[in-house]
Amino acid sequence: MGSTYSEINGPRLLADLRTLARFGKEGQGVNRLSFSPEDIEARAWLRGRMRDAGLNTQIDGVGNVFGQTPNVGRTVLIGSHTDTVPNGGWLDGAMGVIYGLEIARAMIEAGSLRDGGVDVISFADEESTYVVTLGSRSFVGELADSEITEGKSIVGETLVAALERAGYAGSARAALDPGRHTAYLEAHIEQGPRLEAEGKRIGVVTSIVGMRGMEASFQGQADHAGTTPMRLRKDAGAALFAFAAEVTAAFEETSAADTVWNFGHVVFEPGAGNVVPRAARLLIEYRDPSEGVLDAMETAVLKAADRVNREGKVVAETHRSFSLAPVAMNPNLVQCIEDSARHYKAPAVRMPSGAGHDAMHLARHLPTGMLFIPSIGGRSHDIAEDTSEEDIVLGAQVLARAVEAILAA
Amino acid sequence: MGSTYSEINGPRLLADLRTLARFGKEGQGVNRLSFSPEDIEARAWLRGRMRDAGLNTQIDGVGNVFGQTPNVGRTVLIGSHTDTVPNGGWLDGAMGVIYGLEIARAMIEAGSLRDGGVDVISFADEESTYVVTLGSRSFVGELADSEITEGKSIVGETLVAALERAGYAGSARAALDPGRHTAYLEAHIEQGPRLEAEGKRIGVVTSIVGMRGMEASFQGQADHAGTTPMRLRKDAGAALFAFAAEVTAAFEETSAADTVWNFGHVVFEPGAGNVVPRAARLLIEYRDPSEGVLDAMETAVLKAADRVNREGKVVAETHRSFSLAPVAMNPNLVQCIEDSARHYKAPAVRMPSGAGHDAMHLARHLPTGMLFIPSIGGRSHDIAEDTSEEDIVLGAQVLARAVEAILAA
């Protein structure tokens, strides 16, 4: 400790963010799908800005844009992603990358590299246009070669063709360097309404929640809804309603402070007003930082399905469509970000991240921390996504102080 | 009373039914949509069979096939419809028409016309291919001229063009004759599983149930299902689930012996596993012989919507999409059909009709009665629809004795 801390340049940070938002501009938001012409141009621009900042740069074989502070032995790696979903927001992953650029640049300018510097990375295809979290999994060595050769976009272009087209194919793939990289930090907009609702300006992420997806299906029998007495029906829709009510009650009982769940999709077949539903399907997702809570929720789903089956009229089946384990952030980094927020008198709160981030993959390999700033109205993955400039600058300043504290420790 | 009763000819009845089923034959069922070539041919055939039976016949200006017993002052009108839904059953309306033909024919053969005879009618387009219950409403004088001029099929042919094509346009429209027609009787397959489940062979219809259709819609807000705390959501899907549970409980409380209801269709928007539903819609139908019960059920729907709105997160709206009043059958005719069933030692039960029939419209103008026979497995509006030949013949015999008892009374 005891080192001097660099001040970041707020107007320069905002100008870079606004410039980046012009690549694929769509109203107030951005359309910048992985390896689209706009995304490829944005990567070239980003590499140029890194070079201007004094970093050694490369765009690697899967499209990661990587800038390293020269002449330092240890660095904090800061990054996120600059690709977007269709009609996405201008901040989303872009902000975490430009935070890294600004902090690296400010430290180089200030000459505060005594304890080390910052490496910056924009991970490719976090939004899964071709392959889910392509860049960060490549960087930590968790990407199978077959994922590159077999990857395809929704419109059918192969990943190999996209990398050729972008000019990235054949370049070396950047990799985590455990001797150099002491920690990974990722800043992101919250993508939810909690900070705004609670009047906080900084979210200190304690974990990225685990999540499970389940599909429940119900098989009954179609009957005339006028001529079939209630007691003689095998009503798949009514079974789904009773199941959802039972699961909801059990989730309310089981849930911890940060548990969330969603019944996002329902289908009744044949779906006519005068026909008793023959079949029904329900998508269930639930998330929590604790694997134990997720297990208890899954048990509740299975139990409700068993109850339907014991009644013997409708056949219920459930299956897990996906499962992601919770990932804890490093407690020292949590403390470090919180201390930095307190230094700037920024109202902060510890909270889980309810969405996935590249940090999930980094956290298995080096100490990892995340910082959130508020999303206005909780909006994200939408062109309406926004955050006040004051909050954007404050977040970068809090992260910058945390970086130098980590290096000095 | 004291007159002799005519015996119907079972094999002849079955042969006519099997012949009629060849027009538009589709496996075990029939595809004979109103004014299709098959339907037009079937009408011509039916008129020929009526003529052979000794009836005065006509096909009227909307396609009703009408046969009248000559030289009698009073008749019981017996009818139903010979058109079908797509891939419909071979019995459905056809059976009620052929019952009328066979009973008229048997009475003419037996010379048992002292107290009157039978008129037979196949009402056009009961299944609403062009205009709902076109023929029966024309016959009782409840069809607006504009319905004829504006009627169109699902595939866009105008009713006027169809009637021209069939050669019916310009013919006079047959009409109820209160001086001649003393009662209307309609026999039909049950279209439900109740007779079979209870081991009965004759259903004596006490009323055609009233029915209402309602649509409930819920407007909330789409949010990220991982990053939005439960308490900050405006979840249209969860509101729909709670609403459906509340309405179901109220319906169970309110329902009488014959009440039925159905939640036949549900839509969540946008319908993704990881997005809190922005909007949701639900179709509700319910039926009962009593207007009071229907009113109480509608009140329950409105009350549940009010409760959602009072909670203030999601906006619920309901509207009636249709309403049909219950129609009571004539108590004397109910008794008469029941007595006839008893005479033949046929296990019978009084029951409402859960589906609509041409009899709904006739009942407003003359004493009307209906008789059901069992549907195997409750199947109807499906090529799998069937009834045992013994039940088909028994039903005709029971109806025949009821006809002569009515005329003798």
A88 has which bridge partners? A30
pLDDT digits over B357-367, tens only?
999 999 999 99
**CA-CA-CA-CA torsion sign (A377, A378, A384, A387):** positive
Q: Is the peptide bond before B347 cis (omega within 30 degrees of 0)?
A: no
Instruction: Walk along chain A (409 residues) in steps of 10 and give the mean pLDDT of each run.
Output: 71 98 96 97 98 98 98 97 95 98 97 96 96 96 96 92 98 97 98 96 98 97 93 97 98 96 96 93 97 98 98 97 95 98 97 96 97 95 94 98 95
Contacts of B285 in chain A (CB under 8 A): 225-226, 273-274
Q: Nearest CA to B314 among B217, B176, B191?
A: B217
**Residues B336, B402 contacting (CB under 8 angstroms):** yes
CA distance A11 to A15: 6
List of domains in chain A: 10-208+326-408 (3.40.630.10), 210-324 (3.30.70.360)
Predicted confidence (pLDDT) per residue in B93-131, tens digit: 999 999 999 999 999 999 999 999 999 999 999 999 999
Query: Which residues share a beta bridge with A318?
Result: A216
What pLDDT is stored for residue B155 in this prediction? 84
Both tokens assigned to A36? 């689209």
Q: Is B256 on the interface with A (CB under 8 A)?
A: no
Alpha carbons B11 and B268: distance in angstroms, whole number: 54
B262 touches chain A (CB under 8 A): yes
Element (H, E) at A42: helix A37-52
Between helix B389-408 and helix B10-20 the angle, nearest 10°, is 110
User: Model pTM?
Assistant: 0.88
* pLDDT at residue B249 in the model: 97
Q: Which two tokens stand for residue A111?
A: 């000459």
Asked whether A92 and A151 are in contact (CB, 8 A), the reply is: no
- Distance from C-alpha of A220 to C-alpha of A224, rounded to nearest angstrom: 13
Alpha helices (runs of H) in B151-263, residue ranges in sequence order:
159-166, 194-198, 236-254
Question: Along the 409 residues of chain B, how does pLDDT read in single tens digits?
Answer: 344 577 999 999 999 999 999 999 999 999 999 999 999 999 999 999 999 999 999 999 999 999 999 999 999 999 999 999 999 999 999 999 999 999 999 999 999 999 999 999 999 999 999 999 999 999 999 999 999 999 999 789 999 999 999 999 999 999 999 999 999 999 999 999 999 999 999 999 999 999 999 999 999 999 999 999 999 999 999 999 999 999 999 999 999 999 999 999 999 999 989 999 999 999 999 999 999 999 999 999 999 999 999 999 999 999 999 999 999 999 999 999 999 999 999 999 999 999 999 999 999 999 999 999 999 999 998 899 999 999 999 999 999 999 999 999 8
Q: How many CB atoms lie within 10 A of CB B191?
A: 25
> How many whole angstroms separate alpha carbon B153 and alpha carbon B159?
7
Reported ipTM: the value is 0.88
Question: For position B159, what pLDDT does the model report?
Answer: 98
Residue A128: both structure tokens together: 């899964």
Number of neighbouring beta carbons within 10 Å of residue A310: 8
Whole-angstrom Cα Rg for chain A: 24
Q: Which residues of A touch B274 (CB under 8 A)?
A: 262, 264, 285
**Residue A192 with chain B: CB contacts under 8 Å:** 223-224, 226-229, 232
A window 117-156, beta carbon within 8 A of B = none
Q: What is the 3-state secondary structure (H, E, C) of B259-325?
A: CEEEEEEEEEECCCCCEECCEEEEEEEEEECCHHHHHHHHHHHHHHHHHHHHHCCCEEEEEEEEEEC
**SS3 of residue B83 by DSSP:** coil
Asked if A244 is an interface residue toward chain B (Cβ–Cβ < 8 A), one would say: yes
Contact criterion met (CB < 8 Å) for A226 and B287: yes
Q: For position A4, what pLDDT does the model report?
A: 59
Segment 157-176 of chain A within 8 Å of chain B by CB: none
Q: Residue B240 in contact with residue B266, Cβ under 8 Å? A: yes
Q: How many CA atoms lie within 13 A of A350 on its CB side?
A: 15
CA distances from B344 to B4, B13, B189 (A): 15, 18, 19
* Coil, strand or helix at A108: helix
Best A91, A189, A205, A224 residue to mutate vs chain B (most B CBs within 10 Å): A224
Residue A249 burial (CB count, 10 A): 12
Partner residue facing B226 (CB), from A242, A248, A354: A354
Determine the Cα–Cα distance for residues B39 and B124; give it in Å rounded to an integer: 10
The dihedral sign for the CA sequence B296, B300, B303, B309: negative
CA B332 – CA B323 distance, rounded (Å): 28
Asked if residue A393 lies in contact with residue A201, where contact means CB atoms within 8 angstroms, the answer is no
Q: Which residues pair with B281 in a beta bridge?
A: B217, B267
Instruction: Select from B224, B230, B288 the residue whose CB has the most chain A CBs within 10 Å, as the one to mutate to test that interface.
Output: B224
pLDDT score, position B4:
59
| Beta carbons of A229 and B276 less than 8 Å apart | no
